[in-house]
Structure 1
Amino acid sequence: MLSTLAADRARIADLDTQIQDLQRSLSVLQRERSLVQGRLDAYNYPVLTLPNEIICEIFTRFLPIYPKCPPLIGPLSPIFLTHICRGWRKIALSFAALWRATDISWNHSAPDVVSAVLSRSGLCPLSIRMDAPELNPDLDHYGPELLAAAIPHYTRWEYLTLHLTEHFTDANYPRIDGPMPLLQHLDLWLNGGSSYPVVSLRSGAPLLRTVILNDYAAAKVILPWVQLTSLTLTIIYLHECVPILQQTSNLIHCVLELCDSDDVVSDGAVTLPSLETLAIKELDPTTMEPINYLRTFIVPALGDLEVPERFLGLDPIDSLASLISKSGCKLHQVGITDSTLGLEAPFRAAFPSMQMLFIRPIVDDAESVASD
């Protein structure tokens, strides 16, 4: 028994010696670790020494060029930049221009997120986009709420794109009441038509110059047409375009994407004295009967024209010559779409000083084989 106790005492002394050695080794390692950590803490990474102005420029280049809208949330959004580090988050949240453009049609957007993002934009003019495609059914339910969250900032809207479904009815449509003094560009697409209230911007958008409308939107907006310099009307009949075009005397660029129709408009019904480019396009034709749509226009400043061959009527060369003669314009370039093989040579002979472009219709392999 006494020998066992003596052995235990000796073992305790040995263990104490080993513990002291390990503590001395641990103390050395801790001191070395502290020195290494101090060197790391004293090092400033170059990116963190950049002035805030440079960081803001990097943030700006991360996003699409204004007025193109980044998504509201996700890896390509301004919100993503707030998740990188504490310093960058502070810079991003205080940089108003970072939040001036946003696409609020994101699948998982929430009205409070829209409000927060637009509030961060300070006094900056805004670019707002809201699509409502069929592939995003969530917008049928949440769309009105998302748009309602953006409406308090309408006096700062500079570029506005709204593509709304028929679910935006008169009952749930967020009203836009009041002037938009900064609005320059409006792209409005409505589906369903009759359920929408009329939107009037006749005297409330003094800077509005560029407008894109589909047929339902054209029937539901009252705009300062005389101010416009660029107008696109799509999915629409020519006779529906005429009352609008008769008010747009300062147009410089015009695109008409027309539905198939044999409607007839009187000669010279539309005079556009400043129009420089006119593109008339055909959407899903159901008939190939020729119709002379050029007879509708008097365009003395026209330089570039694009038109389907069918819209030149039974005598395409005479139709173009008549347009030039009655308008007194000097066309520089004419593009004829869906043209036939036999038209190119006579046109070049009749108008040798013009640059003529002939765009053939796309023929799939099955049709090509059948024609052979």
Structure 2
Amino acid sequence: MSLSYHTFSESKIKAAHGRRELIRIPNIADHFHTNEPPDDPDAQLFAKTLSNAIDRESFLQEEIRYLETTLYQRIDELSRVQQIIREYKPVLSSVRRLPRELLMEIFFQVLGSVDPEDVLDFDRGLWPLTHVCRLWRTLILNHTSFWTTVSLPGRTHYPPYSIHILSLFLDRSGSQPIFVDFTCRDVAKLPETLFSVLFAQSYRWETCKLRIPVFLTDRLSPGAIERTQLLRHLDLNLDLAYSSPLVSSCKNLFAGAPALRSVKLTGVPLALDTLGLRWSYLTHYDVTQDFPDKHLAILRLATGLVECTIDCSQPWRQQLPGAAAIVTLRKLRILKLKGTASILLEYLVAPGLHSLSVLLPETGDSLKIFLNRSVSRLHELEIEATPMGNNILDALQYVSCLSKLALNVSISPGSRRKIVFKDFLVALRYVSSGNNTTSITGCKLPRLEELFLSVYTSSSEHLYANELADMVVSRWKLPGKIREQELTQLKRFTLETNRDWLPAFDTFKELMQEGLQAFINLH
């Protein structure tokens, strides 16, 4: 019978000689379907092919054993090479060549870029840095400034030897002034002892943040705290009740702190003799106090304030003072009045005020009275008014130099209330007077560069989206010839509202393409 052949090239793995062979295999498939013996020519060819395959099998098995041995050798060698890379590369790293001064600066930047780390946590902060290498350990241990931030946040569980760890940390700070941040949540002996260790170093306090429960306040006494000559910043949260018998023991607590300039008080009953503070020396006053009338007498003494934040939740409980109670704060630059503290505006004068943040009631002229009396060149104003009243619009006539305005308002559906916001938008719009000029007659806030509006409304029609878009367009495009000394172009606009996207908002997309920084946040 005639034979047909098919050939294929078998890629043989390169041996030492690196040769390739072409194996010719006769077609034997037809003989699988019959029991007849092959013809003599076929039988001879098949026998020769079988003999060659047996020889080839022996060769390939031997070569595979050789290649396996070579492969394992190469894997072992690769492992050794990688180990060399891991060992030698760090040794030759450029970090090892950094000057010590530069390393110190890096440490300061890293450690000062986040909130203070718990000194009792060995996995964070300074402790792991001291275990990197001998050089790092020497630099950190020999530089006392690294150990001057003593932070002890509230813990559920304290590690063993906590007192020893804290004492070691304080010892490494040498005689440097220290920053103390201590929080205690539970009534336990160990936190109380840690508190005592910190108080033993009170003569080195420069900044102090204490958040402690009532049971520790008996430690706060002039006898427990030594000289606080260096103390400049005090943040104290005692959460004391006004009728607590411990109040009297805190009266002269910081009387020996002549350098104290900044205080933040929470849960501390206020009086003129509170903590023995020297009010006339203060530049920063931040306090949470339920009754706003407590602050007027204090502000009368604290005439050197540069920044003041007052948060109250209760109404004025004493008889309202008359005009004779007006307090002048000539150095005040930043004023934040939260809750019912806005009533204090009626009794304050701040001619140098730069930034004001206030929560206004729906009615009342406290803001208008304050701005009219102060005659200040206010640049930043933040108002929260829920609901929005006419008093906001009335007050804007006294802030012609304002460059940044933030309003957080709600628009209620009352007959007059719902158009108050519309009146505000109309008042802020630049109006073209023809002849290619822009009129500023009656226009509010001609210097405004940034406007933030947070508006909550029960209906989209109360948002007056068209009027809102027209106002922003007028302040961005400034139709007509711009007289730079009178009109300023709006540069940044933000709107937060509880409404869905409205067709009028498409205008803001166009303005953004033209360069206006516009942000629309819908909830």
- TM-score range with shorter-chain normalisation? 0.7 to 0.9
1:41, CA displacement in angstroms? Answer: 12
Please tell me whether residue 340 in structure 1 is matched to residue 395 in structure 2: no
Count of matched residue pairs: 320
- SS in structure 1 at match of 2:378: coil
1:59, CA displacement in angstroms? Answer: 2.1
1:165, CA displacement in angstroms? Answer: 0.8
2:123 maps to which residue?
75
Which one of the candidate residues 202, 213, 236 is aligned to 1:165? 213
Distance 1:65 1:222, change over 3 A: farther
Q: After superposition, what is the alpha-carbon deviation per residue over 1:256-277, rounded to whole angstroms, capped at 9, x for unaligned? A: 0112224353143433232222
1:105 maps to which residue?
153
Q: Is the 8 A contact 2:144 2:174 kept in 1?
A: yes
1:309, CA displacement in angstroms? Answer: 1.5
1:361, CA displacement in angstroms? Answer: 5.8
Tell me which amino acid in the other structure corresponds to 2:257.
A
Mapping of residues 18-167 of structure 1, within 5 Å: 45-65=93-113, 69-72=116-119, 73-105=121-153, 107=155, 108=158, 110-132=162-184, 136-137=185-186, 140-167=188-215
Q: RMSD of aligned C-alpha atoms?
A: 3.8
Higher relative contact order (CA 8 A, sep 6+): 1
1:145, CA displacement in angstroms? Answer: 1.3
1:259 maps to which residue?
313
Distance 1:100 1:149, change over 3 A: same
1:328, CA displacement in angstroms? Answer: 4.1
Distance across 1 between alignment mates of 2:375 and 2:214? 44
Q: Is the 8 A contact 1:104 1:114 kept in 2?
A: no
Distance across 1 between alignment mates of 2:177 and 2:406? 40
Distance across 1 between alignment mates of 2:364 and 2:154? 50
Please tell me whether residue 246 in structure 1 is matched to residue 293 in structure 2: no
Distance 1:140 1:271, change over 3 A: farther
Please tell me whether residue 198 in structure 1 is matched to residue 254 in structure 2: no
2:13 maps to which residue?
none
Which one of the candidate residues 317, 340, 364 is aligned to 1:315? 364
Q: Is the 8 A contact 1:256 1:280 kept in 2?
A: yes
Distance 1:130 1:304, change over 3 A: same
Q: Is the 8 A contact 1:161 1:186 kept in 2?
A: yes
Percent identity of equivalent pairs: 25
1:86, CA displacement in angstroms? Answer: 3.7
Tell me which amino acid in the other structure corresponds to 2:348.
F
Distance across 2 between alignment mates of 1:328 and 1:102? 44
Distance across 1 between alignment mates of 2:218 and 2:178? 26
Q: Is the 8 A contact 2:221 2:253 kept in 1?
A: no
Distance 1:113 1:308, change over 3 A: same
1:152, CA displacement in angstroms? Answer: 2.6
- SS in structure 2 at match of 1:115: helix
Distance 1:87 1:272, change over 3 A: same
More deviation, 243-252/83-92: 83-92
1:368, CA displacement in angstroms? Answer: 5.8
1:275 maps to which residue?
332
Tell me which amino acid in the other structure corresponds to 1:228.
L
Q: After superposition, what is the alpha-carbon deviation per residue over 1:47-98, rounded to whole angstroms, capped at 9, x for unaligned? A: 33433333322322221259x5322124332122123234422322222111
Q: Is the 8 A contact 1:144 1:174 kept in 2?
A: no
Distance across 2 between alignment mates of 1:246 and 1:348? 25
Which one of the candidate residues 241, 263, 266 is aligned to 1:214? 266
Q: Is the 8 A contact 2:383 2:406 kept in 1?
A: yes
Distance across 2 between alignment mates of 1:40 and 1:327? 70
- SS in structure 1 at match of 2:193: helix
1:298 maps to which residue?
349
- SS in structure 2 at match of 1:279: strand
1:360, CA displacement in angstroms? Answer: 2.5
Answer with 1 or 2: which has the greater Rg.
2
Normalising to structure 2: TM-score of the pair?
0.53
Q: Is the 8 A contact 1:179 1:201 kept in 2?
A: no
Q: Which runs of 5+ in 2 are unaligned?
A: 1-79, 413-456, 463-498, 500-523
Q: Is the 8 A contact 2:339 2:359 kept in 1?
A: yes
Distance across 2 between alignment mates of 1:42 and 1:275? 55
1:337, CA displacement in angstroms? Answer: 0.9
Please tell me whether residue 358 in structure 1 is matched to residue 400 in structure 2: no
1:362, CA displacement in angstroms? Answer: 12
Q: Which runs of 5+ in 1 are unaligned?
A: 1-31, 286-290
Distance 1:141 1:299, change over 3 A: same
1:5 maps to which residue?
none
Q: Is the 8 A contact 2:291 2:315 kept in 1?
A: yes
- SS in structure 2 at match of 1:200: coil
Distance across 2 between alignment mates of 1:171 and 1:362? 50
Distance across 2 between alignment mates of 1:276 and 1:254? 8
Which one of the candidate residues 224, 238, 245 is aligned to 2:278? 224
- SS in structure 1 at match of 2:296: helix
Q: After superposition, what is the alpha-carbon deviation per residue over 1:282-338, rounded to whole angstroms, capped at 9, x for unaligned? A: 18x9xxxxx84322223232232221111xx7333xx33322343443433332113
- SS in structure 2 at match of 1:359: strand
Distance across 2 between alignment mates of 1:100 and 1:216? 27
Tell me which amino acid in the other structure corresponds to 1:281.
K
1:243, CA displacement in angstroms? Answer: 2.7
1:217, CA displacement in angstroms? Answer: 5.8
1:185 maps to which residue?
233
1:326 maps to which residue?
373
Distance across 1 between alignment mates of 2:352 and 2:297? 21
